[in-house]
Structure 1
Amino acid sequence: MTAAEKDTEHTTEPSPKAIATAKAFVGGHGGSARAVVENLGRAGARIVLIGEDGQFGDVLVPDAATGEALVEAVDGLTPHKWDGETTAALKIGAAHRRRMAGARAR
């Protein structure tokens, strides 16, 4: 097997830890959540989870295909894109906004 074949050969099955993290989020934030899979390139993919209560979290996986498989594997997750409805469902508090802004906001 060549190095190129190894790079393209990977599993799309999410790890048990990733599944457990997503299930815990869904259970802790209203029983369902929106999931937006973001491709991060070589770094993998990020699944942003937005709960019914507007809180958000994320799960990192090796690639976008694994992220999509995670969404399918967890009851209560529904795939979404970053559209107006999904963005409006997200509730970010003032403390989190300051933390995201960094030292300049303090």
Structure 2
Amino acid sequence: MAETQEVEAPGRAAKDERRAAKLARQIGVFAKAHGGAEGQLAYIGERGTRIVLVGEDGGWGDLVARTYEIAQKAVEKAGITLHEDFDGDFAAKVETGPYEWKRMAGIQIGG
């Protein structure tokens, strides 16, 4: 039986590298604005991988990478600490304000 190999499309590696570099720059901007940052990667299916960012000041945000590998490269290039899970001390760093509480309450009551 013949073995099959996945053939990478020409230029795909270069595109993925550029995507990772762009995400790394965006992570760096976030980190600079928030006194540093830590992150966690969450696979979100066909859409890709979510890069959750939490700043030292409690600010938070996220970015989406096309693949888990691109997200991982971006975080490595940015040089931030990466957590396996979004729980415990890491989750406790997130500060929410009136906007988030109002939005969460609206979702709970169907708004």
TM range (shorter): 0.7 to 0.9
Aligned length: 100
Separation of aligned partners in 1, 2:72 and 2:87:
18
Structure 2: give runs of 5+ residues left out of the alignment. none
Matched, 1:19 2:24: yes
Larger Rg belongs to: 2
Give the match's secondary structure for 2:38: strand
Separation of aligned partners in 1, 2:48 and 2:72:
12
Q: What TM-score, normalized by structure 2, do the two folds share?
A: 0.75
Separation of aligned partners in 1, 2:69 and 2:49:
9
2:55 to 17, 41, 51: 51
Q: What TM-score, normalized by structure 1, do the two folds share?
A: 0.78
Structure 1: give runs of 5+ residues left out of the alignment. none
Q: CA RMSD in A?
A: 2.4
Sequence identity (%): 31
